[in-house]
């Protein structure tokens, strides 16, 4: 007896408000996101306050703090 159920990893929900892709999506060309649209699911680095450094060493410390936050969030590869 055959199973008449149909399963798919990619689908658009009833009404077309949401499309689910369970796998890879490859865009060849330009991907446009409308003004004001939200994009979620990407890593976000912790806030780095504006620098108030008055010395080169202070600027270096602020820059290194920013780099550490980018690496911890997975936005930048960690040092080897």
pLDDT exceeds cutoff 90 at 3: no
Q: 66 burial class (0-12, 13-18, 19+ CB within 10 angstroms)?
A: middle
Helices (H) and strands (E) in the chain, counts: 1, 2
Q: Tokens for 44, please give them.
A: 């976000």
Could you tell me the pTM of the whole model?
A: 0.60
- Structural domain including 26 reads 10-35+43-72
Residue 67 lies in a domain: yes
- In contact, 23 and 9? CB cutoff 8 Å: yes
Residue 15 lies in a domain: yes
Residue 23 lies in a domain: yes
Task: State how many domains the chain has.
Answer: 1
pLDDT exceeds cutoff 60 at 29: yes
């Amino acid at each position: 007896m055959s199973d008449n159920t149909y399963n798919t990893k990619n689908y658009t929900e009833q009404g077309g408000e949401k499309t689910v892709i369970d796998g890879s999506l490859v865009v060849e060309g330009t991907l446009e996101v409308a003004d004001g649209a939200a994009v979620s699911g990407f890593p976000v680095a912790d806030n780095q306050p504006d620098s108030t450094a008055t010395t080169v060493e202070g600027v270096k410390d602020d820059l290194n703090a920013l780099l550490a936050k980018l690496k911890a969030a997975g936005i930048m590869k960690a040092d080897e």
